[in-house]
A and B are shown apart, each in its own frame.
Chain A
Amino acid sequence: MLRLVLQRLLALVPLLFIVSVLTFSFTSLLPSDPVDLILGDNGTQEQYEMLRERLGLNEPLVSRYLDWLGKAVQGDLGSSFFNSVSVTGAVMQRLPVTLSLTAMSALIAIIVGVAAGVAAALRPQSWVDRVATIGATFGQAVPNFWFGLILVAIFAVNLRWFPAIGFTPLLESPWQWLRSVTLPSLALGLSSSAAVARQVRSAMVGVLQQDYIRAARAQGLSARRIIIRHALTNAMVPVVAIMSFQITVLLGGALIVEQVFAINGLGTLAIAAVRQQDIPMLQGLVLVMVGLVVSVQLITDILYGLLNPKARPS
């Protein structure tokens, strides 16, 4: 078990290295000079040189990278080009918002997706299967932010069950928090559950055709036992891998859905940063998101190892 975790952690090293290089290289890829961006049109040459020096832009690329990486590892992602706010601070302030939205929608996506996928796989061609398949096909075509708008129109504007906009932190009021994340999570989670359902169904259908399922049936085990113990355990192997990918998708979706509900999360921060070409902020955001995704991958990898004996180190 420990070996599995260590192995997985080790495998992340090249990935994180490449991500850090990619992230860092934004600055040099940028067509416009960040110093010009900050100073605007009326900066003097002197101010320009000073700022360049202060931002460390005169150093060689490699040493700038190492300097940036060293600070990033310690949690210092630099400060915004514009208001000199600490990037780490800004990101950490918004992170809980986006995280709670992502987590809630992941929960919805998993519960709805797995239930619908399994139900459809157990009775192919039945009405359950048809409804699930049609639902999933539609679900994949509906933009999550549009679905959010419709939910707002129905449940916030007309029925007034939920707030239309805004976010209440969990610690402030759990009840208000739940009310504020319900609609965005549903918009995001239900859209994502369509993809999960399709993949769970095909994984499950595949497993149900395996020899060992036939053998278990020939052995007279009950249908319930075969489905829950024998089929689901194996069908979960690909599903776990899918979920790790879906979390990435959800995190990206959250950035947009936040806009619908005027939630001040990472999405709002990212969009503002793009507009202003605020490079340190974007770098910080990418690194934090990759960190999140990689943590989820690590957890799913370990789950994968637990479910699939062949993937365990011997």
Chain B
Amino acid sequence: MSDQPLLDIRELQVTYWGRSGLSMRRQPFHAVKGATLTLKAGETLGLVGESGSGKSSIANAVLGLVPASAGSIRFDGVDLSAMKTHYPGEVRKQIQAVFQDPFSSLNPSMTVEDIVSEPLRVHTGMNRAERRARAAELLEMVSLSAEHLSRHPHQFSGGQRQRIAIASALALEPKLVVLDEPVSALDVSTQNQIINLLYERRDALGIAYLLIAHDLALVHHISNRIAVMYLGHIVEEGPSDRVYSAPAHPYTKALLDAVPLLDPEKQRLRRAARKRAPPNETPRDVSSGCPYKNRCRWAMARCHSEAPPMFAVEGGGAASCFLLTDPGNTANNDKLKESATQ
């Protein structure tokens, strides 16, 4: 158990076949193009990227909702990718999920008791009374109470619904919970309540989280490691603090820089330093070279012909950028750091 990761994703690819318009031919869309990630038991891996980066596809592949088209996913030593989307019960009960939209993730026709105890019903031999007792216990664990058991989801606010979803996900005390944008549909004051709850539960139960989010700052709060995705590729990965404070990939830096600061003065300075570039038009598919080359201000000739592999980064982790290999590596890194602090 010691050093073997709980979740081991290697060269994962996820491809969707969709029709565009009325076209009869199905066209492939490569959502994930070779992602390698590991997650240790009891730790949190934050997976960050903008819409369309493929982060949710990784979540869906781990959950067995979409099949992997290439590569492997190993969970606790078991090869999940070989099972396509048909996980046996022992695996299923170890991997649970909380999804983004608390309004559509709870079945409107079921009561809270049904929702929270559904996993118990599927995977355990508990009788009705036992399930009910456990459901009440779970609700109290997420700061709701047993009196909510007989209510329907529409009687709850967004934050409360997300608590119910968390209670259901934790019912079987899984080893891994995939959190797909768990707070992005919530109000600011409710978001932190949910983050705190997730953090506290992780420490109490020793669960590992795969946390999918678009907000690096938020991910940084509770992740041990962070991976950054861009157009189906993992462009940077490393310990949370290092990625957040000393990003090595230009895209990670751009993401961090784009988040406005809560300080108008600092924000003004940053704006002044910012070069007004033409708007980025993210291509859906980049055939050769670095996926980020079209938006990168440091793009070199090499970036257009060759895809950069992952290079180790000082302070832990790796990033796929040729800046990290150049003789002038340190100078470039200084350049990156300089604008990061602005």
User: Which A residues are within 8 Å of any B CB, using their own CB?
Assistant: 4, 7, 10, 305, 310-314
Question: Which chain B residues lie closer than 8 Å to A314 at the CB level?
Answer: 20-21, 23
- Cα distance A314–B22 when bound, in Å? 8
Residue contact A7 to B20, C-beta cutoff 8 Å: no
> Secondary structure of the B side of the interface?
loop
Number of A-B contacts (CB under 8 A): 16
- B24 partner, pick from A4, A7, A310, beta carbons under 8 A: A7
CA distance A310 to B20 in the complex (A): 10
Q: How far is the CB of A242 from chain B (nearest CB, A)?
A: 20
Name the B residues within 8 Å of A313 (CB-CB): 21-23
**Would you give 12 A-B contacts (Cβ < 8 Å), ordered by A?**
A4-B22, A7-B22, A10-B24, A305-B22, A310-B21, A311-B22, A312-B21, A312-B22, A313-B22, A313-B23, A314-B20, A314-B21
Given contacts A10-B24, A313-B23, 14 further A-B contacts (CB under 8 A): A4-B22, A7-B22, A7-B24, A305-B22, A310-B21, A311-B21, A311-B22, A312-B21, A312-B22, A313-B21, A313-B22, A314-B20, A314-B21, A314-B23
Contact string, B227-271, partner A, CB cutoff 8 A, digits 1/0?
A: 000000000000000000000000000000000000000000000
Per the bound structure, the CA–CA distance linking A10 and B23 in Å amounts to 12
Pairs A-B, 5 closest by C-beta atoms? A313-B21, A313-B22, A314-B21, A7-B22, A313-B23
Q: How far is the CA of A310 from the CA of B24 in the complex (A)?
A: 15
Please give the distance in Å from B23's CB to the nearest CB on chain A: 6
Question: Which residues of B, 19-39, contact A by the 8 Å Cβ criterion?
Answer: 20-24
In the bound complex, residues from chain A placing their C-beta under 8 Å from that of B24 are 7, 10
Q: How far is the CA of A45 from the CA of B22 in the complex (A)?
A: 57
Instruction: Produce 1/0 per residue, B9-27, CB < 8 A to A.
Output: 0000000000011111000
Q: Closest A residue to B20 by CB, please name it.
A: A314
- For the complex formed, measure the closest distance between the CB of A127 and the CB atoms of chain B, giving whole angstroms: 35
Q: Nearest residue in B to A311 (C-beta to C-beta)?
A: B22
| A residues less than 8 Å from B21 (CB atoms) | 310-314
B22 CB contacts on chain A under 8 angstroms: 4, 7, 305, 311-313
A226-B209 Cα distance, complex, nearest whole Å: 50
> C-beta contact mask, B209-221 vs A, less than 8 Å → 1, else 0?
0000000000000
- CB contacts (< 8 Å) of A305 on chain B: these are 22
Residue ID in chain B nearest A305 by CB atoms? B22
CA distance in complex: A310, B19 (Å):
13
Measured between beta carbons, the chain A residues less than 8 angstroms from B20 are 314
B167-219 interface with A by 8 A CB criterion: none
Q: How far is it, in angstroms, between the C-alpha of A305 and the C-alpha of B23 when the chains are bound? A: 13
State the CA gap A305–B22 with chains docked (Å).
10
Output the nearest chain B residue to A312 by Cβ-Cβ distance.
B21
Residue of A whose beta carbon sits closest to that of B22: A313
Closest to B23 in A: A313
Report how far A117 CA is from B21 CA in the complex, Å: 30
Cα(A4)–Cα(B21), bound, Å: 11
- Measured CB to CB, the closest approach of chain A to B18, in angstroms, equals 13
B20, B21, B22, B24 interface centre (most CB from chain A within 10 Å): B22
Residues of chain B with a CB closer than 8 A to A10's CB: 24
Tell me which residues across on chain B come within 8 A of A7, comparing CB atoms: 22, 24
